[in-house]
Amino acid sequence: MFKDFLEKHFHHEGKHYEVFLDDPNDKKGKKIHAFLTALVFIFMGVISFESIWDNAITYQTQIFLFDAFVSMAFAWEYIYRFIKAKDKLNFPFSLMRIIDLLSFLPFFLWLIATGKALVLLRLLRILRVLRLVEDIPLTAGFVKSLKDYLDEYRAVFLLFFVTLFILSFSVYYAEQSVVWTPFNSIPMSLWWGLVTMTTVWYGDMVPLTPLGKILGSLLIFLWPLLLALSSAVTIMVFTEAARNHNATKVHLFKSKICEKCKAKNRTEANYCSTCGEKF
């Protein structure tokens, strides 16, 4: 699967794309894709701007017009892809198409029925940044390689939660001898354990008993070990993805080029896989 994905990006010649927006050799498609991606980042700046003081009221018209423009641009792309799609029945149900739909639908729903919830749904437009994963083979390869290391990640997360629950429960019972203890429930103790293990430590809850302090110290020292285990697994995943990425690139760039259609083929091929020309 990883190899097929890379060939999609490095084996361009002679390949048929459903829409020109997906063709990395189409200059117009690349410009439109870059423009739509830029709109997402500009939108992130706009929502940050409108959250400052009373900018949302002062620049209400400008923000509305920008939202309308962005929504119509994303709606155009979605409709165009739907018209060109061969499998229109399954088109709306793919992950990327759902993200595309959510990038413009809340705006048009808000025009029909205003509501704070619909305004907040505009933030779903940021999900379009995930589309960049498709354009970076190494990133996509990293995501795919995660599947091979699910057992390792499960083991790390299991250790994390077991440690969190055992020590948080223990601190809860250890602190019950204090009259006005902030550890008044197990959920609150779990909250303390979580912020302590992740070294955030808001300071809103502090063990007061000697046993509670010892258990809290143990929790602090165990977190770096669990973080190291998680980091080691992630490094292995990234190393494997990078190795596969580089190996596939080398194979593709050393491939045979068809003189007739200019398509790339495997070095051992005797006929072009695109036009059938004999080498």
Say how many domains are in the chain: 2
Q: How far apart are CA 246 and CA 260, in angstroms?
A: 28
Q: How far apart are CA 215 and CA 56, in angstroms?
A: 48
Q: What is the pLDDT along the chain (279 residues), one digit of tens a residue?
A: 444 444 444 444 445 667 888 777 788 888 888 898 889 889 888 888 988 888 888 998 998 899 899 999 999 999 999 998 888 898 888 878 888 888 888 888 877 766 555 666 777 777 777 666 665 655 666 667 777 788 888 888 898 999 999 999 999 999 988 888 889 899 999 999 999 888 787 888 889 999 999 999 998 888 888 888 888 888 887 777 777 666 555 454 456 677 766 666 666 666 666 666 776
130 and 155 inside one domain: no
- Of 230, 246, 264, the last residue of a domain is 230
69 and 113 inside one domain: yes
Residue 61 domain-assigned?
A: yes
Q: How far apart are CA 37 and CA 128, in angstroms?
A: 8
Q: How far apart are CA 104 and CA 124, in angstroms?
A: 9
Q: How far apart are CA 181 and CA 197, in angstroms?
A: 20
76 and 182 inside one domain: no
Q: How far is CA 279 from CA 107, 180, 249, 262, 264, in A?
A: 55, 85, 22, 12, 12
Residue 278 domain-assigned?
A: no
pTM of this prediction? 0.55
Residue 169 domain-assigned?
A: yes
Residue 102 domain-assigned?
A: yes
Residue 52 domain-assigned?
A: yes
Residue 241 domain-assigned?
A: no
87 and 16 inside one domain: yes
What integer pLDDT is reported at residue 224 of this predicted model?
86
Range of 93's domain?
Answer: 2-135
What integer pLDDT is reported at residue 135 of this predicted model?
58
Q: How far apart are CA 122 and CA 41, in angstroms?
A: 13
Residue 259 domain-assigned?
A: no
- Of 110, 135, 160, the last residue of a domain is 135
8 and 122 inside one domain: yes
What integer pLDDT is reported at residue 214 of this predicted model?
93
